[in-house]
Amino acid sequence: MQTRPSYAILSHTWLCDGEEVTFEDLLEYHAAVARGESSLAASFTTRKGFQKIQGCCNIAVQSKLEWAWIDTCCIDKRSSAELSEAINSMFKWYRSSKICLGDDTSFQDSRWFTRGWTLQELLAPKRLSFYDHKWQLIGAMNKDPNLCETISDITSIPVAFLQGSPLTDACVAKRMSWASKRHTTRPEDIAYSLLGIFDVNMPLLYGEGHKAFTRLQEAIISQTYDHSILAWGIRNPKPLYERDVSSKPEALGVLAMSPKDFEDCGDFETDKSFFHGHTNLEFDVTPAGIRLSANILDNYHDGEGYSLCELSCYTWSYPSRRIMIQLRPGPLGRDTTAKAGWPQYVRNGRDLWCHSDPPLALFGPRWHRDRTITIAKDIAMSAIKRRHQASSCSMILLNIPKNHICSVEYVHPGLGILTNPHQVGKNSLRIYRYPGFSTARPSNNPFHYVFKLVLFVTPAAAVFGIYHLIPIAFEDLCWLLIILELLFISELPLAITRLRWVWIFILGKGAEARLDRDTVGACIAN
């Protein structure tokens, strides 16, 4: 096998369009020199990018190296195969270089510390030296401890990793946090620039946008048991019993949208003791989401149906407190299909939770150790949701009267509400119970609802209604006790007249309720 010669490699940020010298430009420059076309050759040599190439080559010669590699002119970007190979190999090329030259003008405020691609160029080389715009040496990382401290302060990367500690000693979330404040011109590149840092390979698909970062996370999960990749979000330092559960966090997929989601994860560590005694170390990507084995606390707050999932990581400040994320039942519910690895959840909000005393195991039967669950990668799973709904599941159809607008304020975790805008002339809601879920009232709170709807008339009308629906303790939702409380308000210039009625209906399986402006009726459609 041919031995690769020693070489210098340049780490830099690209100049404005037209200033860099590309692979094609360099070929054209050499052809112009060979033909004696000095004016054409000069059009390349006057560019700032050409001066950058000359400076890099001069330093290489001073270091007694015959070769230098610069990404602008050493990759033929006309070939997608060559570009893909270069990007997937970039980290190794920087790691294998004899010396890496960091080209910079204003050190601490430099763009070099905010660009996505330069992160791997900072971490990969064994010998990295920084130069100013006149190619005067600023300092060498392997010789100047103060320079390492300065760069650590700028980048929030611990000095040990700047001095060559294996990147695998940092959990996934910590490494992601190093990229949280970096940017790339193309959205795909924020993922592609991290391939070497996580030692993964994947094909390049320019045009896929932020889906590239999803693919990166899936590739990382496929070769690690590190749960910290799921520990993105905002820290919530309050103890469990002090949390505000009255708010309604948004449903999210379990994967992050970008490295910025890991900004709070700089001091996260992998808890290796988490896996002691675990017989199931499942952590895989499936069509329905991310399947993992973890410790789960079900229904930790009465009536909300939320769960906490304990991950295999902790913060340096609180090593006894493992990071947890909040979950709620996903669109596939508690289906027991073994191949899919149910139950399925979605992430409930962006908060990261750390448990404290008492230990979660003291919560009794709600605490499940080493449980296999699936968490949806994203919430755009309506097609899967419809495909897995059993035709025999309980369903209620609510037809909303004309000239009214219905807003869904709350839905029980065991229920799903669907609308169909493609049904002409229909303003209706289909209310489903997911198989395996109970809608029995979980607490004695009289204000706990199966679902809560708010009905407004259009601006042309002068009345509005508020519909409150609460459950009774029937396991399979074949029946619902529905209390509809209507407040008709006639808006007059000088006075407001209020009238109030309350109706109680028993709606059977397959029932249809018609809500009209003047009357409210129930039709049993069995």
* DSSP string over 86-132: HHHHHHHHHHH-SEEEEE-SSSTT-GGGTBSHHHHHHHS-SSEEEE-
CA distances from 83 to 55, 78, 79, 109, 389 (A): 25, 8, 6, 30, 45
Same domain, 113 and 260: no
Q: Which of 165, 190, 207 is the last residue of a domain?
A: 165
Q: Is the pLDDT of residue 517 over 50?
A: no
pLDDT at 295 over 80: yes
pLDDT of residue 489: 30
Q: Which of 71-75, 264-268, 320-324, 428-432 is the least confident region?
A: 428-432
Statement: residue 488 has pLDDT above 90: no
Range with the largest mean pLDDT of 105-109, 193-197, 435-439, 456-460: 193-197
Both 410 and 497 in a single domain? yes
Angle, helix 23-35 to helix 38-45, in steps of 10 degrees:
150
Task: Indicate if 160 and 12 belong to the same structural domain.
Answer: yes
Task: Judge whether 203 lies within some domain.
Answer: no
The residue with tokens 């979000």 is 233
C-alpha dist (Å) from residue 512 to 175, 337, 508? 54, 31, 9
Residues 352 and 411 in one domain: no
**Listed range (122-131, 146-155, 390-399) with the worst mean pLDDT:** 390-399
Question: Looking at the structure, do residues 353 and 241 belong to the same domain, yes or no?
Answer: yes
| Whole-number pLDDT of residue 3 | 79
Residue 108 placed within a domain: yes
pLDDT over 70 (residue 467): no
Same domain, 332 and 405: no
Alpha-carbon distance of 170 to 176, in angstroms, equals 10
Report which listed range, 9-18, 207-216, 249-258, 274-283, is most confident.
207-216
| Residue 62 within any structural domain of the chain | yes
Residues 368 and 422 in one domain: no
What is the helix (H) or strand (E) element at residue 309, kind and residue range? strand 307-315
Tokens standing for residue 288: 């329905």
Considering the domain architecture, whether residues 334 and 454 belong to the same structural domain is answered as: no
Q: What is the pLDDT of residue 282?
A: 87
Using CA atoms, how far apart are residues 278 and 274, in angstroms rounded to an integer?
8
Phi, psi of 504 (to 5 degrees): -120, 130
In the block, residue with structure tokens 């990007």: 87
Q: Is residue 188, in this structure, part of any structural domain at all?
A: no
Q: How many domains, the chain?
A: 3
Neighbours of 257 (CB within 10 A): 13
Among candidate residues 188, 220, 219, the one with its CA nearest the CA of residue 204: 188
What span, in angstroms and rounded, lies between the C-alpha atoms of 200 and 221? 10
Label residue 512 by pLDDT band (50, 70, 90). very low
Note whether residue 215 is domain-resident: no
Q: pTM of the prediction?
A: 0.71
- Higher-pLDDT residue of 246, 381: 246
Are residues 12 and 160 both part of a single domain?
A: yes
Last residue of a domain, one of 362, 383, 404: 383
Nearest CA among 268, 340, 342, 345 for reference residue 311: 268
The C-alpha atoms of residue 436 and residue 161 are separated, in whole angstroms, by: 49
Residue-level pLDDT at 344? 80
Where does the pLDDT of residue 338 fall: very low under 50, low under 70, confident under 90, or very high at 90 and above?
very low
Q: Look at residue 312 and give its three-state secondary structure.
A: strand
Q: To 5 degrees, how large is the angle CA 167–CA 261–CA 192?
A: 55
* Confidence check: pLDDT of 331 > 50: yes
Looking at the DSSP bridge assignments, the partners of residue 514 are 399, 521
Which of 383, 405, 439 is the endpoint of a domain? 383
Q: What is the mean pLDDT of residues 384-391?
A: 40
> Is there a domain that residue 208 lies in?
no
The verdict on residue 186 lying in a domain is no
Same domain, 122 and 157: yes
Q: Do 458 and 517 fall into the same domain?
A: yes
Which secondary structure element, helix H or strand E, spans residue 221, and what is its range? helix 211-221
Q: What is the pLDDT of residues 156-206, one digit of tens each?
A: 999 999 999 999 999 999 999 999 999 999 999 999 999 999 999 999 999
* Chain segment 233-257, per-residue pLDDT in tens: 988 766 655 656 556 678 889 999 9
Domain that holds residue 447: 390-523
Residue 502 identity (one-letter amino acid)? V
Per-residue confidence (pLDDT) for residue 298, from 0 to 100: 80
Kindly state whether residue 292 falls inside one of the protein's structural domains: yes
Same structural domain, 353 and 405 = no
What stretches of 132-247 adopt beta strand conformation (E)? Answer: 137-140, 234-236
Phi, psi of 307 (to 5 degrees): -130, 160
